[in-house]
Amino acid sequence: MSATQPAIDSPCTDASPVTASANATVIMGCLIGFREGHPLVSWKHGALGADAVEASTIVDLHDAHVGRQVALSFELGLAGRPVILGCVRDEAFDDAQARAARRGFEAICDGERLIISARSRITLRCGAASITLTAAGKVLLQGEYVSSSSTGVNRLTGGSVEIN
């Protein structure tokens, strides 16, 4: 251990110094996602190649920021210690988020569940199959073949149940 290089418990196997000129102290990277609530970033010519690296952040980040360009600095100049300084403004992205909010659409992902909300209806479609949820409480399943199976109880309940 040298006097100029303090001990760091790096989460990375490669904690080599980031090479930058005296004028380039911030680089651009991308917020890839989150692992256990911690942001993951990658950057061009990153010390770890295309791998996502866990980063610290000085700004609040959430799932809507995933895929956004971020400004990165590196704690003690180590590639294994990126710090997110902020998201780069992207008017097209910001406008899309605002349009989605005006339409009454919302998506929340916390790593354990995905909640998609809309004012009147949500349809998930693949080819001839679809699942539609309505604000009135209807769940509509449509497809050329619909299968229901269970290793436990497979229950149909309702005010009335019609078969054929």
pLDDT in tens, 100-127: 665 666 677 666 777 788 888 888 888 8
Q: What sign results for the dihedral spanned by CA atoms 32, 35, 40, 46? A: negative
**pLDDT tens figures, 125-161:** 888 899 999 989 999 999 989 888 889 988 888 888 8
pLDDT beyond 60 at 84:
yes
**pLDDT tens figures, 43-55:** 876 544 457 889 9
Instruction: Give the number of other Cβ atoms within 10 Å of residue 106's Cβ.
Output: 13
Q: What is the DSSP string of 3-69?
A: TTS-----SSS--PBPP--TT---EEEEEEEEETTEEEEEETT-TTTT--EE-EESS---GGGTT-E
Mean pLDDT, the chain, rounded, equals: 77
pLDDT given at position 97: 64
Domain boundaries, given as residue ranges, for the chain: 1-88, 92-142
The top-level CATH class assigned to 1-88 is mainly beta
Q: What is the token pair recorded at 37?
A: 């609530």
Q: Give the lowest-confidence range in 17-21, 61-65, 66-70, 156-160.
A: 17-21
Q: How confident is the model at residue 17 (pLDDT cuts 50, 70, 90)?
A: low
pLDDT beyond 70 at 74:
yes
Report the predicted TM-score, pTM, of the whole model to 2 decimal places.
0.45
